[in-house]
Amino acid sequence: MDPFYIEGTDDWLGSPTPIETLQHQILLYENEVVELNLLLRQARDKIFRLLEMNNEVAGERDALRSQLADRRSETAYIHSESTELLSQVRSLTQVADQCDRPLHEKPATAK
């Protein structure tokens, strides 16, 4: 053995050859690729489910927005009705007060 070739372990018993080392590395890479493909499939499934959920929620949101717009218009209509009725009540109260005044006034005595 060459004294400068101390790091060479090719001739040791039980040590893998360079080809065996490369084959082992290839197997490790293949296993990693398989695992990453599985993780990728799972992530795609989760993304697909999230997109479906988002579409459902967006549909519900749009329906609720439509209901909210309807309720706002109903509220505005009821508010205008109540304002009109309140003004009518006030005018009727004024008329009633005007009608009651002459009855409750004391007649003036002549001096």
Q: Is residue 72 part of a domain?
A: yes
Per-residue pLDDT of the chain (111 residues; tens, 9 = 90+): 555 666 665 666 778 888 999 999 999 999 999 999 999 999 999 999 999 999 999 999 999 999 999 999 999 999 999 999 999 999 999 988 888 776 666 655 655
Q: Is residue 59 part of a domain?
A: yes
Q: Is residue 103 part of a domain?
A: no
Q: Is residue 40 part of a domain?
A: yes
Q: Is residue 89 part of a domain?
A: yes
Q: How many domains does the chain have?
A: 1
Q: Is residue 57 part of a domain?
A: yes
Q: Is residue 38 part of a domain?
A: yes
> Euclidean distance between the first and final Cα of the chain, in Å?
154
Q: Is residue 73 part of a domain?
A: yes
Domain that holds residue 32: 16-97
Q: Is the CB of residue 24 less than 8 Å from the CB of residue 16?
A: yes
Q: How far is CA 35 from CA 22, 50, 76, in A?
A: 20, 23, 60
